[in-house]
């Protein structure tokens, strides 16, 4: 018995010992051999992570006004399983529908969503109406949630309402301007267009994260490990666009759509000296805040991507080439009407069915937009090789390089002699609007072709480093002297109110150059007799161009609408308002007896009010102001209230007494206004010349402030013409023996012709 008990004890003890050894080995295995792995697994269960969403960079206009930005929004989801369990489907559907709108059936479909086996989903998103909603609606939904929870508490069945609100960010476009240029970002961030798409890498930034350890109550451990990477916000992109000019352009195009009901209307405004795009618009446009409500065709940027036969606006390139080669004599005569090209039995005719205007000068041919004149200039005088070399130098048939991608090159179709001749007046040529603007800007600015720019600078919000985009010269296309001559000729297309095809673009007070275009559209391979693409392109002021503007109207419903009758008046409206906004002084005074009374503005009273109020008064009158002094209240104004002034003339607001004032910039003022303003500062004005102030200097003489100003008559005035004529006469008498006298006379003759046309006005 004792022996048996001993055996049992030994057996039991052995088993216990074995189990103990197994336990020790397992502990050793888990704690020592595999401890590191299990510790990492445990840490993963303790830890959590949150995504730190990067803020997308803003898109700004040239003055810093926001065109696109990220803002807080809210996404709405529902839990169909909870909603069904609580029996509150109707309450949720009706409540969400009353707040979000849309279709009640769509909301009900989401709220009652179930899989094929009939099991309700635990989360479904309200994408159609509850995605990226504003705070006001989110607050209403929070109130709805509280109402449902109160209802559930009263029934004592729970408090989960099944509605989920998640804070997020959405893209917001405050003004909605330049929608095709700025573009949009879709709700799912997958689709985008315009600048938003092309500069996505710069704008999007990079998300960050934070990982930390938590306890069973989901509270962060005070001494736990933390892994943190901050979000890197996207860069801010400042465009060259001027919001005020953009708005002017868009409003003008809306009027075009209402009046002519075309397929589309397009406009581009640019600084010809840098090719910075000041405005770019297409109608119909779309609201980037609700892009899904518009037809896809509204997203299309015709200014960059559409190819058109330009018609007579293309004649500018032929004219510039002929002038640059010394082949354009404005006084040379030719027979208008029609002309035959070798190898083609059908003559090329002027637009008035080949009737022409008899024997006229080439300058009159330009004013009347004679096709025959340009066939003679381009086909006969320049020849194919030189003509096409200039087309190439102007950038036709090539991408301009504007930063929006997928830009077409355009084409010039040439097979027969007639094709070559037709290109001289813009037929058989396919170009984009942006190509034409860049080419005409080169004519305006002294012959320099620039790459079009839409971005002015890019700023890193973290480092505050700004990269400025400088103008990019492509090539010198024509000489500076040729550029000036072409501008004088194109000015007469506008200023000649009898035969100038662009006379409807004339802006009183300014020297404007431009050219009309009315092109038959090709329908099913043939030129349509009743469908046209009408356009106008021009720039101002001629002597110092500040803006070049292109207007295009595709298929206006008025059979009489042409480049001169439909597009030129739109150009006139835009150029006047834009120059007014830019503060560009007129070239010569307004004729009070002129029919163009709309360019004269009566100065309102803005004295005895605060500077801010005075600014507002003048802004409502579309007048520019300059505050003289550092006071808070306007004591005097120059010119005085009730005066008639050009819309671009500055109004000076005097805010301090005489002894405290500095002499402001007097440039552009008449002698009378300059005298009055100088007297207000206690200085004495010493004028030289007549007309308007062009420069000033200030000095102290015997303790008296003396302001010396140089005045010049406005360009185009009788005084200016007389002075220029006298200068030309002196030049001719002094340089009569010069070997280059022939060229000098040719240029002087052209300039004189231009001045005569201006004097006529």
Tokens of 325: 């080669």
* Domain annotation covers residue 193: no
Cis peptide before 639 (omega within 30 of 0): yes
The answer, yes or no, to whether residue 401 has pLDDT greater than 70, is yes
Both 505 and 648 in a single domain? Answer: no
Of 557, 582, 607, which residue is a domain's last?
582
Residue where one domain finishes, among candidates 559, 582, 605 = 582
Q: What value does the mean pLDDT take over residues 146-168? A: 85
What pLDDT does 749 receive? 32
For the stretch 430-465, pLDDT in tens is 999 999 999 999 999 999 999 999 999 999 998 899
541 preceded by a cis bond (ω within 30 of 0): yes
Mean pLDDT of the chain: 85
**292 and 346 together in one domain:** yes
Beta strands in 109-182 (DSSP E): 124-125, 163-172
Among the residues of 179-299, which ranges form H helices? 179-182, 194-198, 200-204, 243-260
| pLDDT score of 423 | 96
Report how far residue 597's alpha carbon sits from residue 591's, in angstroms, rounded to the nearest whole number.
9
User: Is 164 within a domain?
Assistant: no
pLDDT at 86: 87
Host domain of residue 607: 596-661
Q: How confident is the model at residue 372 (pLDDT cuts 50, 70, 90)?
A: very high
**Distance between CA atoms of residues 352 and 459, nearest Å:** 55
pLDDT confidence tier of residue 674, bands split at 50, 70 and 90: confident
Residue 370, judged by CB atoms within 10 A of its CB (0-12, 13-18, 19+), counts as: buried
Condensed to tens digits (0 to 9), the pLDDT of residues 97-133 reads 999 988 888 999 999 999 888 899 988 988 878 888 8
Phi, psi of 48, deg, nearest 5: -140, 165
Enter the pTM of the model.
0.73
Same domain, 577 and 615: no
The answer to whether residue 220 sits within a structural domain is no
* pLDDT for res 735: 36
Pair 383, 417 in one domain: yes
**pLDDT given for residue 658 in this prediction:** 66
Lowest average pLDDT, out of 126-140, 498-512, 689-703, goes to 689-703
Angle between helices 383-393 and 315-324 (to 10 degrees): 110
Count of structural domains within the chain: 4
| pLDDT digits 0-9 by tens, 190-209 | 889 999 999 999 999 888 87
- Are 387 and 535 members of one domain? yes
Q: Which residues pair with 120 in a beta bridge?
A: 114
- The domain boundary, picked from 555, 582, 609, lies at 582
Q: Compute the average pLDDT of residues 23-46.
A: 69
Burial readout 384-393 (b: 16 or more C-beta within 10 A, e: otherwise): eebbbebbeb
Whether the pLDDT of residue 258 is over 90: the answer is yes
Beta bridge partners of 238: 60, 457
**Are residues 508 and 536 located together in one domain of the fold?**
yes
Please answer whether residues 370 and 379 qualify as being in contact, where contact means their C-beta atoms are separated by less than 8 angstroms.
no
Average the pLDDT over 559-583 and give the result: 92
In a domain, 373, yes or no: yes
Of 186, 179, 183, 403, give the one whose Cα is nearest residue 282.
179
Taking phi first (over 0 means left), then psi (-120 to 50 degrees means alpha), and beta for anything else, what does residue 189 get? Answer: left
Burial class (CB in 10 A: 0-12, 13-18, 19+), 294: middle
Task: Choose the catalytic residue: 204, 312, 370, 501.
Answer: 312
Per mean pLDDT, which range of 50-54, 483-487, 744-748 is the poorest? 744-748
pLDDT of 718 higher than 60: no
What is the predicted pLDDT for the residue at 542? 95
**Residue 258 shares a structural domain with residue 306:** yes
Lowest pLDDT segment from 201-205, 304-308, 316-320: 201-205
pLDDT digits (tens, 9 = 90+) for 617-649: 887 777 778 888 888 898 888 888 888 776 667
303 and 349, same domain (yes or no): yes
Tell me how far apart the alpha carbons of residues 312 and 423 are, in angstroms, rounded to a whole number.
Answer: 10
Residue 737 has pLDDT above 50, yes or no: no
Q: Distance (Å, rounded) from C-alpha 230 to C-alpha 327?
A: 66
Task: Kindly report which listed range (162-166, 213-217, 615-619) carries the lowest average pLDDT score.
Answer: 213-217
Alpha-carbon distance 12 to 4, whole Å?
12
pLDDT of residue 1: 64
For residue 302, is pLDDT > 80? yes
The pLDDT score that the predictor gives to residue 37 is 72
In this structure, is residue 403 part of a structural domain?
yes
pLDDT value at position 728?
A: 45
Which 3-state string (H, E, C) describes 559-577?
A: CCCCHHHHHHHHHHHHHHH
Residue 616: inside a domain, yes or no? yes
pLDDT for 729: 43
Return all residues near 42 (Cβ < 8 A) that are at least 6 apart. none
Q: Which two tokens stand for residue 382?
A: 């320049």
Q: pLDDT-based confidence at 47, cuts 50/70/90?
A: low
Give yes or no for a contact between 59 and 109, defined as CB atoms under 8 angstroms apart.
Answer: no
**Which helix (DSSP H) or strand (DSSP E) does residue 26 occupy?**
helix 2-28
pLDDT value of residue 627: 84
pLDDT of residue 590: 59
Look at residue 758 and tell me whether its pLDDT is greater than 50.
no
77 counts as catalytic: no
Instruction: Give domain status of residue 590, yes or no.
Output: no
Residue 518 sits in the same domain as residue 615: no
User: Given the DSSP bridges, would you call strands 547-554 and 333-335 parallel, antiparallel or unpaired?
Assistant: unpaired
Band the pLDDT of 405: cuts 50, 70, 90: confident
Least confident residue range of 121-135, 284-298, 578-592? 578-592
pLDDT at 628: 82
| Same-domain check for residues 294 and 272 | yes
Using CA atoms, how far residue 578 sits from 182, 248, 439, 564, 636, in Å, is 21, 8, 21, 20, 28
Q: Are 504 and 616 contained in the same domain?
A: no
Q: Reduce the secondary structure of 478-521 to three states and give it as a string.
A: CCHHHHHHHHHHHHHHHHCCCCCCCHHHCCCCCCCEEEEEEEEE
In a domain, 567, yes or no: yes
Same domain, 626 and 725: no
Sheet holding 47-52, edge to edge: 47-52, 208-213, 226-229
Euclidean distance between the first and final Cα of the chain, in Å? 142
């Amino acid at each position: 018995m004792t022996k048996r008990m001993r055996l049992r004890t030994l057996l039991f003890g052995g088993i216990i010992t074995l189990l103990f050894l197994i336990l020790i080995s397992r502990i050793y295995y888990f704690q020592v051999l595999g401890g590191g792995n299990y510790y990492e697994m445990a840490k993963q269960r303790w830890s959590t992570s949150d995504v730190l969403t990067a803020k997308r960079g803003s898109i700004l206009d040239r003055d810093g006004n926001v065109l696109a930005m990220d803002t807080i929004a809210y996404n709405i989801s529902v839990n169909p399983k909870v909603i069904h369990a609580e029996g509150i489907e109707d309450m949720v559907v009706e409540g969400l529908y009353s707040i979000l709108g849309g279709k009640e059936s769509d909301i009900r479909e989401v709220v009652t969503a179930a899989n094929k086996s009939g099991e309700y989903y635990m989360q479904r998103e309200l994408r159609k109406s509850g995605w990226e909603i504003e705070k006001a609606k989110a607050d209403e939904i929070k109130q709805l949630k509280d109402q449902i929870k109160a209802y559930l508490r009263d029934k004592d069945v729970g408090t989960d309402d099944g509605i989920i609100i998640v804070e997020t960010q959405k893209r917001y476009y405050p003004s909605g301007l330049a929608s095709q240029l700025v573009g949009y970002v879709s709700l799912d961030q997958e689709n985008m267009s315009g600048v938003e798409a092309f500069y996505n890498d710069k704008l999007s930034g990079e998300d960050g994260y934070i990982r930390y350890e938590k306890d069973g109550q989901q509270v962060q451990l005070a001494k736990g490990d933390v892994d943190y990477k901050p979000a890197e916000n996207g860069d801010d992109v400042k465009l060259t666009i001027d919001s005020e000019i953009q708005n002017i352009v868009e409003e003008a195009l809306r009027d075009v759509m209402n009046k002519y009901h075309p397929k589309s209307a397009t406009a581009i405004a640019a600084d010809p000296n840098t090719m910075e795009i000041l405005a770019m618009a297409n109608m119909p446009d779309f609201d980037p805040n609700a892009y899904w409500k518009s037809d896809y065709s509204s997203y299309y940027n015709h200014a960059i991507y559409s190819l058109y036969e330009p018609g007579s606006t293309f004649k500018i390139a032929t004219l510039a080439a002929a002038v640059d080669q010394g082949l354009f004599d404005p006084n040379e005569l030719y027979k208008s009407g029609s002309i035959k090209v070798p190898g083609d039995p059908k003559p090329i005719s002027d637009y008035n069915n080949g009737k022409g205007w008899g024997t006229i000068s080439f300058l009159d041919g330009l004013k009347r937009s004679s096709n025959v004149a340009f066939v003679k200039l381009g086909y006969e005088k320049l020849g194919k090789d030189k003509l096409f070399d200039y087309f190439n130098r102007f950038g036709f048939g090539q991408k301009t390089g504007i930063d929006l991608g997928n830009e077409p090159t355009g084409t010039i179709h040439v097979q027969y002699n007639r094709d070559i001749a037709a290109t001289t007046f813009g037929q058989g040529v396919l170009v984009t609007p942006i190509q034409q603007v860049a080419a005409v800007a080169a004519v305006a600015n002294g012959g320099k072709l620039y790459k079009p720019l839409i971005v002015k600078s890019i700023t890193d919000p973290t480092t505050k480093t700004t990269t400025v985009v400088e103008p990019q010269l492509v090539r010198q296309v024509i000489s500076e002297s040729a550029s000036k001559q072409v501008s004088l000729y194109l000015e007469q297309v506008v200023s000649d109110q009898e035969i100038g095809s662009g006379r409807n673009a004339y802006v009183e007070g300014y020297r404007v150059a431009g050219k009309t275009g009315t092109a038959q559209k090709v329908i099913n391979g043939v030129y349509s007799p009743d469908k046209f693409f009408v356009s106008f392109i021009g720039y101002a002021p001629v002597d110092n161009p500040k803006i070049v503007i292109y207007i295009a109207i595709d298929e206006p419903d008025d059979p009489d609408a042409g480049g001169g009758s439909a597009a030129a008046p739109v150009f006139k409206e835009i150029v006047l308002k834009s120059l007014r906004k830019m503060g560009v002084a007129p070239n010569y005074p307004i004729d009070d007896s002129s029919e163009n009374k709309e360019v004269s503005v009566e100065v309102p009273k803005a004295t005895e009010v605060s500077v801010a109020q005075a600014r507002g008064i003048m802004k409502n009158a579309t007048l520019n102001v300059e505050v003289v002094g550092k006071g808070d209240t306007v004591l005097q104004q120059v010119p005085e209230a009730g005066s008639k002034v050009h819309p671009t003339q500055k109004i000076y607001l005097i805010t301090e007494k005489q002894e405290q004032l500095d002499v402001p910039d007097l440039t552009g003022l008449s002698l009378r206004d300059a005298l009055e303003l100088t007297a207000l500062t206690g200085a004495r004005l010493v004028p030289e010349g007549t007309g308007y102030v062009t420069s000033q200097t200030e000095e102290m003489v015997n303790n008296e402030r003396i302001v010396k100003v140089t005045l010049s008559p406005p360009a185009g005035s009788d005084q200016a013409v007389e002075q220029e004529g006298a200068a030309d006469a002196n030049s001719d008498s002094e340089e009569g023996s010069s070997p280059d006298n022939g060229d000098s006379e040719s240029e002087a003759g052209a300039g004189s012709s231009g001045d005569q046309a201006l004097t006529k006005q």
